[in-house]
Chain A
Amino acid sequence: MKGRSRVCTEPVWVRAILMIVALGFLAVFLVLPLGAVLYAAFSKGLDAYIAAVREADTRSAVRLTLLAAGIAVPLNVCFGIAAAWAITRFKFPGKRVLVTIIDLPFAVSPVIAGMLFVLLFGAHGLIGPWLLGHGIKIVFAIPAIVIATSFVTIPFVARELIPALEARGPEQELAALTLGATAWQTFRRVTLPNLRWPLAYGAILCTARAVGEFGAVSVVSGHIRGETNTIPLHVEILYNDFQYQAAFAVATILIGIALATLIGKSFIEWHAGRGRPSH
């Protein structure tokens, strides 16, 4: 316990108990389940694992997931930048309401999020019949998956950029404008470089959620194998088909993405000087 005087720490036995409780809890709830997935994924050997991951339906699920995330993430990055700029740089009535609305997709259950788009675009929905009449199918097809994915990931980037922009203040931008830079130059050369870490952080979290979204996508997808299945939905179908080894094998793709997310996140925290100081 460097830097901490003896009066400010606990007896050794208390420390030992607390550490055993904390480490035991994390081991049982986090490490053991991950180990269980890896064990089951390789339970039939490496060949079975590779076969499950390279199967045609798995590949089409990967493609659809990449498509949905590839649209949802850039969309919400653009939205996050616009929202953060408007909220932190100008005064207007209703700002707090706006911030709360940005957070709403976090508060809505994923199932309800999916339901919203069925109510809107479904065959019995508000504008669904009209769209279907014009040959546009949204629900139980790819567009609804992209829309639902975008909905659940709306807050991620904006929530990171708002405090970052707030803390920085408008001085640098004002200086650039005074020195004759155009609005676009100021944005590209001053605002954006300053925001690169929080932006990357928000985008990483946004991507992780977009790739892994289950409830909302499950409601709107229609579960057509090889067509409207994302990776998490494919895992569910395999699991419910009692193809456990294949389900766990495909799940390892998502675990890999999740671990990459955590590493990226830690890297940014360390790089941006957020690293938790040791006591």
Chain B
Amino acid sequence: MAKQRRALPGFGLSLGVTLAYLGLMVMIPLSTVVWRTAELSLGQFWSTISSDRALASFALSFGAALVAAGINVVMGVIVAWVLTRYEFPGRRILDGIVDLPFALPTAVAGIALAATWAPNGFLGKYLHAIGIEGAYSRLGVIIALTFIGLPFVVRTVQPVLEGLDPRVEEAAAMLGATRLQTIRRVILPALRPAIVTGFALAFARALGEYGSVVFMSGNMPMKTEITPLLIMSKLEQFDYAGATALALVMLVVSFGILVAINGLTWRAAERRQAIRTPAEPAPTAVPPGAASAGGEL
């Protein structure tokens, strides 16, 4: 096998181009973070990332990303369920629109959400009347992060729901399970890996999000300032060391999530490989988009 593969040309060229491009575009720029942080003493580094303003921004960024990803798990499973199981007019259009947050520039998402949720906005004015601020508040951050994370859970759960063998559900029903028991004991366990992956993708994306949040949060330090915005304001004050220290924390967390997601994906692929029987041959072609079940982080 290995010998046969070597028969193909272009190993040196393709790997060389790949390594050179990634080296220049990704690895050298990323290494500057380490170089900048090394200029700080451990004490300075610690005081930067444990200042009240930094801690408040971490709490908001992580907390809001967690809440938004949680909302997306619940709503995403329901949306995926309705899109795959029920027949209604406009289903295909709706199915296409789910990807809108991937395609829509984040700045446009931000002003669109502000126009909807601000005190004078379409929905915001009703919320404002009963004393709830939909924009320029922590709720605004959560709304923005929910919007941009919306497709992830839907798009990871949907293919699994489509692939479920209806005979399994029929068997459960024949054996006396109620519909609720079938969903809880048969369907949900099958969806769990996809839900976890979708949650992680939505959380990771929400953690780094900037464009939509700046228009929706009001950007008040200590209250509605997310970490990427704090990094931005430190850069604007030419406090590069401080910005880098915060960025390093974010990078370590995002990198951890990325490794976990890739680990989950590989494990799921290996499991599929393992349970594939000879009667059910490997699919010969992977349709476009199958890889980016969650799409762009």
Contact of A86 among B11, B35, B121 (CB under 8 A): B11
A29 lies within 8 A of B258 (CB): no
Q: Which residues of B contact A155 (CB under 8 A)?
A: 296
B115 lies within 8 A of A40 (CB): yes
| Known contacts A22-B78, A85-B10: A107-B5 contact under CB 8 Å | no
Q: Does B251 contact A (CB under 8 A)?
A: yes
A115 lies within 8 A of B247 (CB): yes
Q: Which residues of A contact B109 (CB under 8 A)?
A: 33
B232 lies within 8 A of A219 (CB): yes
Count of inter-chain pairs, beta carbons less than 8 A? 355
Interface size class of B (residues with CB under 8 A): 35 or more
Q: Does A102 contact B (CB under 8 A)?
A: yes
Q: Which residue of B lies closest to A16 (CB)?
A: B86
Contact of A276 among B15, B95, B166, B182 (CB under 8 A): B95
Q: Does A197 contact B (CB under 8 A)?
A: yes
Looking at the complex, which of B44-52, B190-198, B205-213, B270-278 is the stretch in contact with chain A?
B205-213
Q: Which residue of A lies closest to B11 (CB)?
A: A90
A272 lies within 8 A of B288 (CB): yes
A265 lies within 8 A of B99 (CB): yes
Q: Which residues of B contact A92 (CB under 8 A)?
A: 15
CA distance A105 to B169 in the complex (A): 41
Q: Which residues of A contact B122 (CB under 8 A)?
A: 32, 35-36
Looking at the complex, which of A47-55, A130-138, A203-211 is the stretch in contact with chain B?
A203-211
Q: Does A226 contact B (CB under 8 A)?
A: no
| Known contacts A101-B22, A159-B291, A213-B105: A235-B111 contact under CB 8 Å | yes
Q: Does B290 contact A (CB under 8 A)?
A: yes
B291 lies within 8 A of A163 (CB): yes
Q: Which residue of B lies closest to A156 (CB)?
A: B296
B115 lies within 8 A of A36 (CB): yes
Interface string of B75-87 (1 = CB under 8 A from A): 1001101111111
Contact of A124 among B238, B266, B296 (CB under 8 A): B238
Contact of A36 among B121, B162, B174 (CB under 8 A): B121
| Known contacts A112-B228, A115-B243: A239-B108 contact under CB 8 Å | no
| Distance from B281 Cβ to chain A, minimum over Cβ atoms (Å) | 12
Q: Which of B2, B28, B147, B287: most chain A CB closer than 10 A? A: B287
A154 lies within 8 A of B26 (CB): yes
Q: Does B279 contact A (CB under 8 A)?
A: no
Which residues of chain A in 225-248 are interfacial with respect to chain B, using CB atoms and an 8 Å cutoff?
Answer: 231-233, 235-236, 239, 247-248
Q: Does A46 contact B (CB under 8 A)?
A: no
Q: Which residues of A contact B94 (CB under 8 A)?
A: 23, 26
Contact of A116 among B30, B169, B287 (CB under 8 A): B30
Q: Does B237 contact A (CB under 8 A)?
A: no
| Distance from B79 Cβ to chain A, minimum over Cβ atoms (Å) | 5
Contact of B286 among A108, A163, A269 (CB under 8 A): A163
B106 lies within 8 A of A115 (CB): no
Q: Which residues of B contact A35 (CB under 8 A)?
A: 122
B254 lies within 8 A of A214 (CB): no
A124 lies within 8 A of B240 (CB): yes
| Distance from B136 Cβ to chain A, minimum over Cβ atoms (Å) | 14
| Distance from A100 Cβ to chain B, minimum over Cβ atoms (Å) | 6
B287 lies within 8 A of A160 (CB): no
Q: Which residues of A contact B35 (CB under 8 A)?
A: 119, 126
Q: Which residues of A contact B99 (CB under 8 A)?
A: 262, 265
B287 lies within 8 A of A274 (CB): yes
Q: Which residues of A contact B22 (CB under 8 A)?
A: 98, 101-102, 154
Contact of A83 among B18, B103, B244, B296 (CB under 8 A): B18
Which residues of chain A in 180-198 are interfacial with respect to chain B, using CB atoms and an 8 Å cutoff?
Answer: 183, 186-187, 197-198
Q: Which residue of A lies closest to B82 (CB)?
A: A22
Q: Does B231 contact A (CB under 8 A)?
A: yes
Q: Does B42 contact A (CB under 8 A)?
A: no
Which residues of chain B in 230-244 are interfacial with respect to chain A, using CB atoms and an 8 Å cutoff?
Answer: 231-232, 235, 238, 240, 243-244
Q: Which residues of B contact A200 (CB under 8 A)?
A: 288
CA distance A82 to B11 in the complex (A): 9
A31 lies within 8 A of B32 (CB): no
Q: Does B289 contact A (CB under 8 A)?
A: yes
| Known contacts A18-B78, A124-B238: A272-B287 contact under CB 8 Å | yes
Of the A-B pairs whose beta carbons lie under 8 Å apart in the complex, a sample of 26, sorted by A's number, is A19-B88, A23-B94, A25-B78, A29-B147, A79-B21, A82-B14, A86-B11, A89-B11, A107-B208, A107-B257, A107-B297, A109-B247, A110-B228, A160-B288, A163-B286, A163-B291, A164-B288, A164-B291, A170-B4, A233-B107, A251-B112, A255-B104, A257-B103, A262-B96, A262-B100, A274-B287
Nearest 9 interchain pairs by C-beta? A212-B105, A109-B208, A106-B297, A274-B287, A33-B112, A7-B173, A214-B211, A183-B9, A201-B288
Binding site for A on B (CB under 8 A): 2, 4-11, 13-15, 17-19, 21-22, 25-30, 32-33, 35-36, 75, 78-79, 81-88, 91, 94-109, 111-113, 115-116, 121-123, 146-147, 150, 158, 162, 166, 169-170, 173-174, 179, 182, 204, 207-211, 215, 228-229, 231-232, 235, 238, 240, 243-244, 247, 250-251, 254-255, 257-259, 262, 266, 283-292, 295-297
